[in-house]
Amino acid sequence: MEQRPVKHHVSVSGVLKHLGVSRSGYNAWKKRVPSATERHREEIKQKIRKIYEDSHQNYGAPKITRELWKTGEKIAVKTVANYMRQMGIKAQWVKPYVQTTIDSDFSSKLHNILNEQFNPAQPDAVWVSDI
């Protein structure tokens, strides 16, 4: 039978004392409302998340920035990139196609110098190979 880990109950006052934070400072932090800048930042992050999801997770910071500019939002590409990094999202990178095969039309380059004479007069006069 699997044993469950024991949960330890930690008091808030003990944690505050350990961190060196006053109880009144902690309560003030809990009651603090987000500033206008924080609210605007969260709105921008929600817009970035929506554009990112609508693009099937393909758009990176430059394309998302252009989409935000279309909606009238004034924001820099670096700011969008920083927000995306904070949210843990990044664009999918598609490896560019590189042609690895060579044109196999050798008819113009190769010449038939053997002329189907498969029995040479001396050894090591003709070497052939097959692919």
Q: For residue range 14-73, list pLDDT tens digits in order.
A: 999 999 999 999 999 999 999 999 999 999 999 999 999 999 999 999 999 999 999 999
Choice between 25 and 116, residue whose per-residue pLDDT is larger: 25
Structure tokens at 60: 């990176």
User: What secondary structure, in 3-state letters, does the chain show?
Assistant: CCCCCCCCCCCHHHHHHHHCCCHHHHHHHHHCCCCHHHHHHHHHHHHHHHHHHHCCCCCCHHHHHHHHHHCCCCCCHHHHHHHHHHHCCCCCCCCCCCCCCCCCCCCCCCCCCCCCCCCCCCCCCCCCCCC
Q: Which residues contact 17 (CB under 8 A, 6 or more apart)?
A: none
Q: What is the pLDDT of residue 130?
A: 74
Q: What is the pLDDT of residue 10?
A: 84
Band the pLDDT of 118: cuts 50, 70, 90: confident
CB 44 within 8 A of CB 71: no
The residue written with tokens 């050798």 in the block is 106
Q: For residue range 72-97, list pLDDT tens digits in order.
A: 999 999 999 999 999 999 998 888 89
- Residue spans of the domains in the chain: they are 35-87
